Amino acid sequence: MALPSFNLLVLIVSLTFLLAQLFVREKHTSHILFAVFCGSVTMLLTKNISGNSIGAYQHLIGLGAIAICNGYWLLSRSLFRDKDAIAGRHLALALAIALLVFIKQSYLFASSTALIPVSSGSLVSHTLSELTKLLSSCILVLSFWEGCRGYKNASKQEKGQRILFLATFGLAVAINKISLSMLAADPSAREWVISSLILLVLVNTQILMFWRYHKPKQAVENHSTIQKTSNLYQDVAEKLGDAVSCAEQKIAENVKTLLIEKQLFLKANLKVGDIAKALNLPEYRVSKALRNHLHAKNFNQYVNELRIGYAKEILVDINKQKWSVLVVGLESGFASVGPFTRAFKAATGFTPNQYRLSHLENSALSMG
């Protein structure tokens, strides 16, 4: 196969891979960047194929080859980084290299068409070439680093993907550097090597893209089935939760009826088991209903609040001023004066006597 025919084959492969990215359903940033890379490679190959047949205009075609090294670096970042793969500073560096390539090709076109004297621009051409080579070399190192970083913590599949990337990239760079010195006197052989390396990188990168992002149909169907099952379980759980909540609400209302309307809270030594027995329910269901629907920490705390509220009414009743604290406590459902006094003070900040006296003083002041 002649070199122009081989270049045409590589060009067709590049165009095919570029168009293939358009038909990817779930596109990632990597697909867009690979398409850009393929586009730049296509322009480079078009320039090489056209050669001197179109004269200076080959340099205008070369303007399109501005995203090869820099584009592949961005692609490597998007492949192996989950977060902050491409930020503004990365795009700025890639655009700087693209701008240098653009300026260099523009200069070559201008000098080839005698718009700029060749002698006057030799320094500019040399500077642009060296600066482009320097930045491109840095980009190549950074691209190789993207495949290395995080390798130790990667999954088995991702390690395989990184090995493919590093082997392809490392082999291409190494052979290119070796051929640069060994084939310096044979431009045709050198071009054969470059075109072969381009084909290697294109094919292996497309394989890597497919490996990394392709999901087998069966896996997609399994994921869909799992998702539907999960949603079904969630709906059932919500319905069961609503049913349980309604049942608890009913239990709470029944507990409230027994304690308040039938005044069972006034019964000394009342326990949650007594209420559970009266409702023919397990104790834990009564306690849960109290916590969730009557906002009580526990049964005893709820009953004591009711008893203390009842005791307050007795203590401020004018007709019951002669009742002792013991009698008030017993009437309120407490078994003895000690627990009554402690519970009352914890709830109000006053002892029963202090509460009564405070109320009497306030009443006297309001009457006076």
Domain boundary among 153, 188, 214: 214
Coil, strand or helix: which one is 331?
helix
CATH of the domain at 296: 1.10.10.60
| Contact call for residues 93 and 70 (beta carbons, < 8 A) | yes
Residue 104 covered by a domain: yes
One domain, residues 8 and 137: yes
Is residue 220 included in any domain, yes or no? no
Q: Which of 318, 290, 316, 319 is nearest to 305 (CA)?
A: 290
Do 134 and 28 lie in a common domain? Answer: yes
Residue 23 forms part of a structural domain: yes
pLDDT of 219: 47
pTM of the complete model: 0.56
Task: Single out the residue of 105, 110, 5, 98 nearest to residue 61, CA to CA.
Answer: 105
Q: Say if residue 179 is in the same domain as residue 303.
A: no
In a shared domain, residues 136 and 198: yes
Put residue 263 in one of left, alpha, beta given phi > 0 → left and psi -120 to 50 → alpha.
Answer: left
Q: Do residue 131 and residue 275 come from a single domain?
A: no
User: Does residue 47 sit in the same domain as residue 187?
Assistant: yes
CATH number for the domain spanning 196: value is 1.20.1070
DSSP designation for 67 = S
Residue 247 lies in a domain: no
Same domain for 11 and 121: yes
Query: Do 318 and 198 fall into the same domain?
Result: no
Together in a domain, 153 and 16: yes
Whether residue 45 is found in the same domain as residue 193: yes
For residue 272, being part of any structural domain is answered with yes
For the chain, list residues with pLDDT below 70. 52, 114-125, 216-244, 364-368
Q: Please tell me the predicted confidence (pLDDT) of residue 213.
A: 86
165 close to 79: Cβ distance less than 8 angstroms: yes
DSSP state of 86: S
The string of DSSP letters for 146-183 reads HHHTT-TTS-HHHHHHHHHHHHHHHHHHHHHHHHHHHT
Q: Does 42 fall in a domain?
A: yes
pLDDT score recorded for residue 220: 44
Task: State whether 56 and 185 are in the same domain.
Answer: yes
Question: What span, in angstroms and rounded, lies between the C-alpha atoms of 206 and 200?
Answer: 10
In a domain, 29, yes or no: yes
Question: Do 209 and 61 fall within a single domain?
Answer: yes
Integer CA distances (angstroms), 123 to 63, 79, 187, 225, 314, in order: 21, 39, 24, 66, 106
Number of structural domains (the chain) is: 2
CB environment 196-223: b (16+ within 10 A), e (fewer): ebbbbbbebbbebbeebeeeeeeeeeee
Full residue range of the structural domain in which residue 294 is found: 262-367
Domain C-terminal end among 214, 230, 253: 214
What crossing angle do the helices spanning 337-348 and 299-315 adopt, rounded to 10°?
A: 90
